[in-house]
A and B are shown apart, each in its own frame.
Chain A
Amino acid sequence: MLRTKFVPVALDQWYQRRQKDAEGEFYRKIAGQGPRNDFKGTTQGLYAAAPDGTFLGYNNNRGPERVRKLLRKALDAFRPADAPPIEAGPADPQYAHVPPEGGLVVDVTAKVLGGYPEPKDWHERIFQVALQRDHLWVRKDEHEALARGKIPESLRVRIARFHLVDGTRGEPPMWKREEIRRLDLALAEGRLSGSVHLETESGDRGFEADLLGFVEAKDGRVTRLDLVAKGLFWGEGRYTKGAPPGKFPLAVRFALASGKDAADRIPPEGGRGWHADYIR
């Protein structure tokens, strides 16, 4: 039904509810007709709307039956009508981030490898086996350094602070610079190796991991950037409740994005609201 009867769009509404541009205005027009219409807080959920912005339904329950009901109801209510074009205009520069020119986009996935108790229901099981997805952005100068066989400090720190996280159950807290207790990650003869110790001041959250990976380059371009971090993680964040008790095994995987997927241009989670800090 979604493929044929609708035009589906996936968004991180954190951006759209803030954006001062045509995209943000159109999003707020739709979401403002739903129950979550205070744009100071989250408006997350599933919405159906006509191209002119007429509201056709909302639901924040992702159960298959509830979603089907929302879709059917929206189709019943939909009356095709002309929708005047919207002039896109310039995108709000505070929120419109694109992959760095001449840089790299790296797919990042993470998974908890064990330690969970038996799940109480199917919903909990989904979170326990979930694969976290994100992207690492590499600047042009960092890309060039990698192609020469060097890994810049800025990239090592970005990997540690923003990508060695447990976001398998929701949006994870990132690491502050001072929470990097140890970061040894060296590139020698195409081999990335090292270890990391990240821990909050109180010690309530941490990650101690070993890293191993491989970098290959041809004609000044990186053609392979594969990396794995594996170790013991402990603790959870405000939006990642339900972590396994105590220390549990977590692995994080990095691989160059193909560039063919629409998702490849989605900004890194760690840069949301802190893009300058993320990419510096």
Chain B
Amino acid sequence: MSHPFSGESHQYNAPVRWLAGLALFLVPEGLSVTEFERLHRDLAPPAVETWRTIPWKTSLLEAREVAAREKKPLFLWAMDGHPLACT
């Protein structure tokens, strides 16, 4: 079996160089479409999440108006970063 190096200069011989070039051509750079599709699906928010089934309002004044009309107390989820859309 011949060694892939061609003598003292340690240069790859022609078949090895050709295979290396083919490999570079066949291995796509960056994300593949298959990986894109998988990640786009996997990172989609779940269709049903219990905490999202709560009818959160995003305006405090609007919530106050409804609470006054319906004689209910307000519950404020007040965070650093919006609880529904940031982190």
Cross-chain contact A10 with B57 (CB below 8 angstroms): yes
Determine how close the nearest CB of chain A comes to the CB of B56; give it in whole angstroms.
Answer: 4
Chain A, interface size category, equals: 35 or more
**A7 & B85 in contact (Cβ 8 Å cutoff):** no
B15 on the A face (CB < 8 A): no
**Is A133 touching B72 in the complex (CB atoms < 8 A)?**
no
Q: Which of B31, B54, B64, B85 contacts A266 (CB 8 A)?
A: B85
Return the contact of A269 from the options B54, B57, B81 (Cβ within 8 A).
B81
* B window 6-37: CB within 8 A of A: 29-33, 35-36
Q: Are A134 and B58 in contact (CB under 8 A)?
A: no
Chain B: residues with Cβ within 8 Å of the partner, total of 46
Query: Given A12, A30, A82, which contacts B79 in the complex, CB threshold below 8 Å?
Result: A12
Are A9 and B33 touching (Cβ within 8 A)?
Answer: no
| A212-B33, A228-B36 known; A23 vs B80 contact (CB < 8 Å) | no
Binary contact track A10-31/B, C-beta < 8 Å → 1, others 0: 1111101000001100110011
| Interface residues of B, Cβ cutoff 8 Å to A | 29-33, 35-36, 39-40, 42-45, 53-61, 63-68, 70-87
Can you pick out 23 interface pairs between chain A and chain B where the beta carbons lie within 8 Å of each other? A3-B53, A3-B54, A3-B55, A6-B72, A7-B73, A9-B56, A9-B74, A10-B82, A11-B83, A12-B83, A16-B60, A30-B76, A31-B78, A48-B73, A51-B73, A51-B74, A85-B68, A131-B45, A168-B87, A210-B31, A228-B31, A255-B40, A265-B58
